[in-house]
Amino acid sequence: MTWLWSNLDLVGELTLTHLALSVPAIILSFVVSVPIGWLAHRYRWSRGVLLALCGLLYAIPSLALLIALPIVTGQRATSPINLVVALTLYGIAVIVRTAADAFDAVEPDVRQSATSLGYSSAGRFWGVELPLAGPVLLSGLRVVIVSTVSLATIGAVVGVQSLGSLFTDGLQRDIYAEIVTGIVATMLLAIGLDWAAVALGRLLMPWSRPNGSARRMALARVERVDAA
């Protein structure tokens, strides 16, 4: 505990750095995944191709990705931008399948009703499909938030500062408290962002106050995705 009190500044600073790495990655991966997920949902052929590609992406080990990425990005392996790109790719790999499922979950009847009311296909997407897919999208986003925050610590081994630096430094200097602080801070950050996402979801989707069974279905779908 004494370590924590005398190093509060450092922890606070690293927490902010960590946020600056993971939040852009989370937002980027969400923004990119929704259209990909919609494409995968829309056409039969694209579903197989897109989901397989994202599966492959997910299979690439994070540390290896971090080091191989500079070939494509031209950044140094140790640059924060490189880490954000790597985290974004992972986020996409995680969320695209859920996004496809989210659009699948919109009842065809509802879609037809919207069309018959005169919605154009773009209007239907923004006004009907996206809002109805929202709750499932949110459940995917929550998985991405947690995994991104915890994955961002890996950057520390190649020298990108984050809460992960507490691990590498703690190991070098034999300080248990530092490592434990890092773990707890990372988890708290993940939980905090997760809560923020849920709160934002409530705000943006007041109709989706999840009733038991719908929430369970969405949850189960996410787990299935996780397993598959």
Partner 1 sequence: MNLLFDGIAWVLDPANWTGVGSIPERIGQHLAISAVVLAIASLIALPIGGLVGHTGRGKELAVMVSGGLRALPTLGLLTLFALWLGIGLQAPIVALVILALPPLLAGAYSGLESVDRRTVDAARSVGMREIQIIGKVELPLGMPIVVGGIRSATLQIIATATLAAYIADDGLGRFIFAGLKTRDYAEMLGGSILVILLALAVDGLFAITQRLVVPAGVRVTRTRELRSRPARPRAVVGRPITEGNRE
- Residue ranges in contact with partner 1 by CB under 8 A: 55-56, 58-65, 67-68, 70-71, 77, 143, 146-147, 149-151, 153-154, 156-158, 163-164, 166-168, 170-171, 174, 176, 179-180, 182-183, 186-187, 190-191, 212-213, 216-217, 219-220, 223-224, 226-228
At 73, the amino acid letter reads: T
Q: How far is the CB of 60 from partner 1 (least distance, A)?
A: 5
Closest CB to partner 1 among residues 109, 118 = 109
Q: How far is the CB of 114 from partner 1 (least distance, A)?
A: 22
Closest CB to partner 1 among residues 188, 200 = 188
Q: How far is the CB of 55 from partner 1 (least distance, A)?
A: 7
- How does DSSP assign the chain, residue by residue? -HHHHHTHHHHHHHHHHHHHHHHHHHHHHHHHHHHHHHHHHH-HHHHHHHHHHHHHHHHS-HHHHHHHTHHHH-S-TTSHHHHHHHHHHHHHHHHHHHHHHHHHTS-HHHHHHHHHTT--HHHHIIIIIHHHHHHHHHHHHHHHHHHHHHHGGGHHHHT--STTHHHHHHHHHT-HHHHHHHHHHHHHHHHHHHHHHHHHHHHH-GGG---HHHHHHHHHHHHHHHH-
Q: How far is the CB of 186 from partner 1 (least distance, A)?
A: 5
Q: How far is the CB of 120 from partner 1 (least distance, A)?
A: 30
Closest CB to partner 1 among residues 34, 154 = 154
Closest CB to partner 1 among residues 39, 51 = 51
Closest CB to partner 1 among residues 88, 181 = 181
